[in-house]
Amino acid sequence: MYIAKSNPKESLAEHTRQLLSRLKILKEGYGDHIQNHKIWDLLEIAVKYHDTGKAYSQFQYSIRKALGEDVKKSDMPYIPHGYLSPFFLPVRSLKLDKNMRRILIQAIAYHHERSESINTELLLYVAHEELVHHFPKIEEELNIEVPKDTKHFKKIASELERERIKSIHMDETYLFYVLLKGLLHRLDHAASAHVAIEMDPEFDFSNLTRSYLQKISGKKMGYLRPLQEFAFNNQEKNIILVAQTGMGKTEAALLWAGKKKTFFTVPLRVSLNALYDRVVDEMGYQNCGLLHSTSAHHLDEKGVENWEVIYDHSKQLANKLTFTTIDQILKFPFKFRGYEKYYATLAYSCVIIDEIQSYDPWIVAVIIKALEMIHKIGGKFLVMTATLPKIYLDELDKRGIIDHSCEVEKFFDDALVRHRIEVRDMSIFDNIEKYVEAANDKKVLIIVNTIDQAVKLYREIEAFTANVYLFHSRFLQKDRQLLEKELKEFDKNASSTGIWITTQIVEASVDIDFDELHTELAPLDSLFQRFGRCYRKRSLDHDEANIFIYTEEVSGKRSVYDKDIMDLSKTILREYTKNEKKILLESTKMEMIETLYSVGKLEHTKYYKKFQSALKELDYMEDYQVSYQEAQKILRGDESVLVIPRKIYDEIIPLFEELEVAENPARRNELRREIEKYTCSVNKKMFRNSLYPIDHFRKTKYGQYPLMNYVYILDKDYDFDEQKLKGIGILKEDSPFEVF
């Protein structure tokens, strides 16, 4: 019996059957969603033969030795099994044309990307001297046809000598190849992880959403808003939606998704968590996936009993609906080793991009390139945003993404007047008395551009009132969750009054509604997102301004936001208000964004040059030049690092000690998750002189801590009172602790 896997032990026949059973589920669930139906016959062949090279004596020796068996050492040279598997193909009886044969052989040979180059002379030697002797047993154990002779060996070798099928031209051969190779990856990975390939393929999100909207509205008819009706009626088309806050975009997206396998992306993890909770808890769909860098922590904290299963399914892309960050699902334009798995999945799925304008122009370029690739391979997309920069829309049009299969629509309601703005040529620190006075009977939200600015403002306001809270990303994960919960409770309680000071962490998909907003100047699209946290779904009921924009001594100019965009935003705002309080209609917001992000305004700015440069680089990106980790770093931003403040670390040393000696994998994972509750992501450059590896601080009889080598000790103090929910988080001032 040939062995394919060692943990758990699994025969080659068992492993192959696992793939075939998942192939049946995948085809039955989404077979009609892939345009070229020939893929299924070729994929079945690839599945049956992809691991036949594991019959090779050197592989069998290695795996049986790992299982602790007493086996005779193999004298044969190491060769990756994928390079050997094509020799088991009955090439003549398959009757494939040259192009399909090339696609099949390369997909099997490279189903595991290896750094070893192919030596065809050595392959032919091994094929003639050994592989032929495995043909009868492989035929019996796998119940497949094998070659009758060795005449096809040279054809296989010559095919492996040929240049790899490349993505640069995005032609039909490449698209078919990437489908075959990518789906084979999906099946192989799911079978190896012993998780489902697809869950709930027949589930319809439009039915779920309609029932939910009908229930909360109490109506039998007319419960869908115009935006939602439009999305539901255009399920088979790609859609670009520009719609104001409070129009029900999330429900519209799910109505559009219908029966499609769906990946729902938003910029912030906190927003993803909130969306996941909403669909699971309020709408009642339990099989959602959640996929981002701390999703396991959120699922565990939420008390989900089978969170490990949900997390594993999310990692294997098995869920019908997955809430995820773009670095998890849209990194395939970098064409790293194994990218085909993600790209092929999008061929029969849809992706929802929420608030595209919130991303850096480099990342938007990646998204646009991903949408172009998805369009070419037959997948679906929905882009929805409150503001859409015109340069992005122009680029989508230029690349043929906006065609007969794509609808572009704007939805706004000028009858609902929500905001009267006032632009103030002063610092946000010059108006503290007004914030404190307003907070006596109002919910007051203050948004600034940097954490340092938020901390400084909090300290000054705290001298005048205790009714002030601070929320930003430099709190430990466990404390940040407490603050998020408190913010939502504050919002829900109609009688609550006070001040919340935040950064742009609340801009996207945080469903809160304050009475008054004070904000530093930011790019118009960011400002309008902030406006959505004030009078979110209600009409303005007084003649005073409820939005105040401060234009002087603004933080984050250059470090957070592009200076040219900031300056242009200020000019446009000044032209509109002309030193007066002005009602800001939704249509006016869209016009202002269109003006700001037009080529005419931006063509000489660093912002536009960065965007165009990124697109050009992606257009000529060659396969496998960037690693998976490098692609993820680019999309996540490689300037952050996970840290534990020194004094917090001293308190949880017992967790590290137990982690070092724990033998049970489940317990080790549990300990890691517990430790991660005490971590925070900080800017690596900002704290570079205060970061130390964990083993710098403590070496015990247990040794160092290699299992948590991605976490650093931050030699800075930490301030937070869990009872009062007050504090400023990680302090930038020098720590009183000695570094040793």
DSSP string, 287-311: --EEESTTHHHHHHHHT-TTHHHHH
pLDDT one-digit tens code per residue, 64-77: 988 888 888 888 88
- Omega within 30 of 0 (cis) for the link into 267: no
What sign results for the dihedral spanned by CA atoms 319, 320, 326, 332?
positive
DSSP state of 237: S
Comparing 304 with 683, the larger pLDDT belongs to: 683
The C-alpha atoms of residue 233 and residue 495 are separated, in whole angstroms, by 41
Pairing of strands 640-645, 680-683: antiparallel
Number of Cβ within a 10 Å radius of residue 304: 16
Element containing residue 41 per DSSP (H, E): helix 39-49
Angle between helix axes 39-49 and 98-109 (nearest 10 degrees) is 40
Which tokens belong to 636? 């996540």
DSSP three-state, residue 250: helix
Backbone angles phi, psi at 512, to 5 degrees: -125, 160
Say what the pLDDT of residue 67 is.
86
pLDDT one-digit tens code per residue, 340-349: 999 999 999 9
Task: Tell me the percentage of the chain whose pLDDT exceeds 70.
Answer: 96
Could you tell me if 265 and 351 are in contact, meaning their C-beta atoms sit under 8 angstroms apart?
A: yes
The C-alpha atoms of residue 426 and residue 554 are separated, in whole angstroms, by 9
pLDDT one-digit tens code per residue, 10-25: 999 999 999 999 999 9
Residues 36, 39, 40, 46, Cα dihedral to 10°: 180
Average pLDDT over every residue of 669-676: 85
The C-alpha atoms of residue 298 and residue 269 are separated, in whole angstroms, by 10
- Omega within 30 of 0 (cis) for the link into 8: yes
pLDDT one-digit tens code per residue, 615-626: 999 999 999 888
Closest to 54 in 3D by CA, of 96, 88, 90: 88
The C-alpha atoms of residue 15 and residue 169 are separated, in whole angstroms, by 35
pLDDT one-digit tens code per residue, 45-62: 999 999 999 999 999 999
Q: How confident is the model at residue 441 (pLDDT cuts 50, 70, 90)?
A: very high
pLDDT one-digit tens code per residue, 116-162: 788 999 999 999 999 999 999 999 999 999 999 998 899 999 999 88
Number of Cβ within a 10 Å radius of residue 48: 20
Average pLDDT over every residue of 730-734: 80
pLDDT one-digit tens code per residue, 248-263: 899 999 999 999 999 9
pLDDT reading at 733 higher than 80: no
Which tokens belong to 201? 């393929």
pLDDT one-digit tens code per residue, 368-392: 999 999 999 999 999 998 888 899 9
Residues 301, 306, 308, 314, Cα dihedral to 10°: -100
pLDDT reading at 358 higher than 70: yes
The C-alpha atoms of residue 255 and residue 276 are separated, in whole angstroms, by 16
Pairing of strands 261-265, 321-324: parallel
CA of residue 164 relative to chain centroid, distance: 29
- Could you tell me the maximum CA-CA distance found in the chain, to the nearest angstrom? 90
Q: What does R_g of the chain's alpha carbons equal in angstroms?
A: 28
Average pLDDT over every residue of 202-227: 91
pLDDT reading at 304 higher than 80: no
Average pLDDT over every residue of 591-595: 91
Q: How confident is the model at residue 298 (pLDDT cuts 50, 70, 90)?
A: confident
Identify the residue whose tokens are 């924009």: 549
> How many alpha carbons fall within 13 Å on the CB side of residue 1?
11
Could you tell me if 621 and 334 are in contact, meaning their C-beta atoms sit under 8 angstroms apart?
A: yes
Say what the pLDDT of residue 695 is.
63
pLDDT one-digit tens code per residue, 468-498: 999 999 999 999 989 989 998 999 999 999 9
Element containing residue 240 per DSSP (H, E): strand 238-243
Reported pTM = 0.86
The C-alpha atoms of residue 107 and residue 22 are separated, in whole angstroms, by 18
The C-alpha atoms of residue 678 and residue 648 are separated, in whole angstroms, by 7
Which tokens belong to 311? 């997390």
Weakest-pLDDT range from 219-233, 342-356, 499-513, 580-594: 499-513
Q: How confident is the model at residue 537 (pLDDT cuts 50, 70, 90)?
A: confident
Which tokens belong to 708? 């948590």
Residue type, 385: T
Which tokens belong to 584? 């800001």
Q: How confident is the model at residue 405 (pLDDT cuts 50, 70, 90)?
A: very high
Closest to 497 in 3D by CA, of 471, 465, 475, 519: 465
Average pLDDT over every residue of 191-200: 94
pLDDT one-digit tens code per residue, 259-283: 999 999 998 777 888 899 999 999 9
Highest mean pLDDT among 241-245, 309-313, 406-410, 733-737: 406-410
Closest to 624 in 3D by CA, of 189, 172, 166, 176: 166
Closest to 83 in 3D by CA, of 20, 171, 186, 159: 159
Say what the pLDDT of residue 129 is.
92
Identify the residue whose tokens are 């997102």: 529
Say what the pLDDT of residue 66 is.
86
Could you tell me if 131 and 89 are in contact, meaning their C-beta atoms sit under 8 angstroms apart?
A: no
Which tokens belong to 621? 């990106």
Q: What is the mean pLDDT of the chain?
A: 90
Burial (0-12, 13-18, 19+ Cβ within 10 Å), 192: middle
β-partners of residue 722 are none
List b or e across 380-404, with b for residues whose CB sees 16 or more CB atoms inside 10 angstroms.
Answer: bbbbbbbbbbbbbbebbeebebbee
Say what the pLDDT of residue 124 is.
94
pLDDT reading at 680 higher than 80: yes
* All residues at 6 or more sequence positions from 544 whose CB lies less than 8 Å from its CB, including other chains: 420, 581
For 509: left if phi > 0, alpha if psi spans -120 to 50, otherwise beta; the answer is left
Say what the pLDDT of residue 628 is.
86
Comparing 310 with 29, the larger pLDDT belongs to: 29
DSSP state of 282: I
Helix and strand numbers (H, E) in the chain are 33, 22
DSSP string for residues in 119-155: -HHHHHHHHHHTGGGGHHHHHHHHT----SSSTTHHH
Element containing residue 666 per DSSP (H, E): helix 665-676
The C-alpha atoms of residue 375 and residue 391 are separated, in whole angstroms, by 19
* All residues at 6 or more sequence positions from 197 whose CB lies less than 8 Å from its CB, including other chains: 22, 23, 25, 26, 186, 187, 190, 316, 318
Average pLDDT over every residue of 69-92: 91
Say what the pLDDT of residue 139 is.
96
Say what the pLDDT of residue 305 is.
64
Say what the pLDDT of residue 273 is.
87
Q: How confident is the model at residue 83 (pLDDT cuts 50, 70, 90)?
A: very high
